[in-house]
Amino acid sequence: MITQRTVHALRVTSLDLAGAYRATPPGAPKPGFRLLAAVIEGPGGPWFLKVFGPQATVAAAKDGFEAVLASLEAHR
């Protein structure tokens, strides 16, 4: 799922994906992984944040990740 929002005048595009992970060089797919990512656009940006790992681990971190995004502020 992709969402877009504005947080304190910063444009935030976030992504939540779940599925199989394939390491480089290509190996066997490992099911049960998840990615939370965000691109923050503002003065001096963009900035990129991500959380990646097993689905249960990332699910436990989702509220904290969302709290970080909600707390963003642009500083000059």
Residue 52: both structure tokens together = 């990646």
Average of per-residue pLDDT across 52-76: 95
Alpha carbon distance 71, 58 (integer Å): 19
Determine the pLDDT at residue 64. 98
pLDDT, tens digit (0-9, with 9 covering 90-100), for 26-56? 778 889 999 999 999 998 889 999 999 999 9
Query: Does 25 score more than 80 pLDDT?
Result: no
pTM over 0.85: yes
